[in-house]
Structure formats: structure tokens, C-alpha cells
Structure 1
Amino acid sequence: MPTVPRTSVAAIVAAGREVLAAEGLDGLTMQRVAARVGVRAPSLYKRVQDRSALVRLVAEQVLAEVGTLLEDAAHTGDAERDLRALAAALRDFARRDPSAYGLLFTPLPAAMAPDPALFAASVAPVLRVSEELAGPERALDAARTVTAWASGFLRMEALGGFQLGGSTDEAYEFGIGLLAGGLSRG
């Protein structure tokens, strides 16, 4: 009779997300994940080739989650309202899981990097709304501008970089409003 598996790829990825959230990318090791799923590290190699494959699987799961969140956010048919909803969904995700959010913008070695098609799928809602606002010829430029602005704002916010007082909630809304209005006129 074959041995009953003590873990699965899904359990390993879930544990990887927990380790990432608690210890960051440097803490995401086979040993720490094995401890979370209740096996010894060598047992993980039956399911995941190595640490690079583990990081890639976790990154792919993060991309899929973000893609779903963004798709769910942008559904009104009003491009400016949808852009605000996309920005809010991204900010909520960044606040809820800052390590996973950071992983989205971390350059990874090729062996750890997710399939580029997964990146494209995860940002499809941003590209779609950007195209509605700026037109097809400027959609990619618009999406990059929105992403760069949001990423910079969210990183500064997470690091406590806004030291002059005032409401960061209001500043975030103001910024995305300016972008939405500017892109629709651009």
C-alpha cells in the first residue's frame, strides 16, 4: 500500500505565503515552509524542486490573487470610477499583505520569476481601464504611470515616509483622481 502524502503543493504554497508574510522573502525557505506544513524539509522536494521553485509558486499565487482582486474591482463601466476602485483594491492588498505586495515589484532571478503571461493576466484590468481613459495607443503608458504612482505612494506609506501630517487617505484619493482626470484628457 502506498504511503499517504503528508502535504500537497497547495499546502506548501499556503505555508509559503504565511512565511512570506511573517518573515519576508529572505525567510521564505524550504526549512521554514516544511516546519509549517509539518514535514521535514527533504519531504518538500517530492512536491517542489527547490527554493527557486517555491518562490516562483508563491509569486504566481500572489499574482493570481491580485489579478482576481483587480478584476473584481473594475466592473462599473465608468473608467474613472473603475480606476479609483483598482487603486483602492491595490492599496487594501498592500496594507493587508505588505510582503506579498512587495514581491510583486521585486526583481527575481529567472529561476524564481513567474511566467510573464501571469503578470500580463494580473494587470489586465489596469490595462483595460487605462485604455478606456487614454485610448489604445497610450494604454500601456497610462497603466505604467498609474502603477508607478500607486507603487511609490504605497511603499512610502508603508515605510512611514509621509512626515508632514495630513491624511494619507485623502492624498491617495487626490492623486488617483488627478491621474484619472489627466489620463482621460490626455
Structure 2
Amino acid sequence: MPTPDRTSLDAIVLAARDLLEQDGLAGLTMQAVAQRVGVRTPSLYKRVQSRDALIQLVAEATLTELAGRMNTGASPVLLANILRAFGHERPAAFQLVMTPGAGTPVADRAVAAAASEAILRAAGELAGAEHALEAARTLTAWATGFISMELNGTFKLGGDVDKAWDFGVTRIVDAITADRPSERHLAGAPQA
């Protein structure tokens, strides 16, 4: 008679996400996860084939959670603020999905695409459908850079970082909107 399963894939991923925040990527080991869910390490391999596969599952769960949060916001400023709040709440997970190091396993492309839907939609409203991807990348890159610097304690010149965030996100959104080509220009008509 086979022994009953002592853990689930969901429990394993949740334990791994907790360990990621507690001990960083280096502390996210199969042995540590097995201990956290109460099984022996070899048993973990019945659910997850490798540490890389586990890291990918954590990245995918993180992006799925982030997408759920982002889908509640409509404006690009609100979406950027949601991303920043997530980064502060879960800094290691934020860095895993937004700035993974070389060789770090990443989420499946379909999961990443689904997580990008809200920002693409908002960016399309700002810059037009033709430039939605470029606008989304610009806003996301700026926000990710700012949040990463903030999390790493890089802002050392003093001043109010929240004020700098508000200034920056407003200016980026304004710049993307200001650069939107007029409908006449898109149709090939000469500009006045």
C-alpha cells in the first residue's frame, strides 16, 4: 500500500516563497524547503524535479500574485504604486522576477505575458496601441530601477524618497503621454 502524500505542490511553493524572503535566493534550497514542509528531501523530488524548477515555480507564483494586484489598478501611476508596494512587501520575490541574476531560472513566457497585461493596457491608453509595448517597457524599467535602488539602500543623498518617486512616476507618465503622435500624424498627414 503506497504511503499518502505528506505535502502538496502548493505547500512546497509557499514554503519556498517564505524561505526566499527570509534567506534570499541562496537560502532557497531543496533541503530547507523539505524541512519547512515536513518531509525528507528525497520526497520533495516527487513533486519538483530540481531546485531550478522550484525557483521557476516561485517566480511564476510571484508573477501570478503580482498580476492579480495589478489588474485592480487602471492608471499607470496606480500600477507603478502597486509595483512599488509589492517590492517593499516582498523584496526578494520582486528582485527574482524583475531583476533576476544571470542564470537564475525565470517564469514561463506565458506567465510573464499574463502578468504584463495590466501595464500594457494602461500604456496603450497613454501612448496609443502602436506604442503600448515601448511605453510599458519605459514605465516598468524606470519603476523597477527606482524600486531596486530603494530596496538596496542606494539613495544616500538625503531628501524625501517618496517625493522623488511621485515626481518621477508623474514625469514618466507625462512624457509618455506628451510623446503620443497625433492621429493626423499616424495617418500620414503632414504636421502643422
TM-score calculated relative to the size of structure 2 = 0.88
Deviations 1:127-180 (A, max 9, x none): 110110001111111111111110111111111111222111111011111111
Taking a change above 3 Å as real, the CA distance of residues 108 and 11 of structure 1, as seen in their structure-2 partners, is: farther
The percentage of counterpart residues that share the same residue type is 48
Spell out the pairing of 1:56-135 with structure 2 (5 A cutoff).
56-74=56-74, 82-104=75-97, 105-107=99-101, 109=103, 112-135=105-128
Spell out the pairing of 1:1-186 with structure 2 (5 A cutoff).
1-74=1-74, 82-104=75-97, 105-107=99-101, 109=103, 112-186=105-179
Q: Supply the distance in 1 between the matched residues of 2:95 and 2:43 (Cα, whole angstroms).
A: 29
User: What secondary structure, in the 3-state scheme, does the structure 1 residue paired with 2:153 have?
Assistant: coil
TM-superposed deviation, 1:2: 3.5
Taking a change above 3 Å as real, the CA distance of residues 108 and 8 of structure 1, as seen in their structure-2 partners, is: farther
Letter of the 1:68 counterpart:
G
Letter of the 2:12 counterpart:
I
Q: Supply the distance in 2 between the matched residues of 1:108 and 1:124 (Cα, whole angstroms).
A: 25
Deviations 1:65-108 (A, max 9, x none): 1111111122xxxxxxx111101100110000100000012056
Unaligned runs of 5+ in 1: 75-81
Q: Supply the distance in 2 between the matched residues of 1:65 and 1:34 (Cα, whole angstroms).
A: 23
How many positions carry a matched residue from both structures?
Answer: 178
User: What secondary structure, in the 3-state scheme, does the structure 2 residue paired with 1:160 have?
Assistant: coil
Q: Supply the distance in 2 between the matched residues of 1:92 and 1:131 (Cα, whole angstroms).
A: 23
Q: In terms of Rg, which structure is larger? A: 2
Letter of the 1:43 counterpart:
S
* Higher relative contact order, structure no. (Cα contacts within 8 Å, ≥ 6 residues apart): 1
TM-superposed deviation, 1:16: 0.4
Deviations 1:44-84 (A, max 9, x none): 0111111111111111101101111111122xxxxxxx111
TM-score calculated relative to the size of structure 1 = 0.91
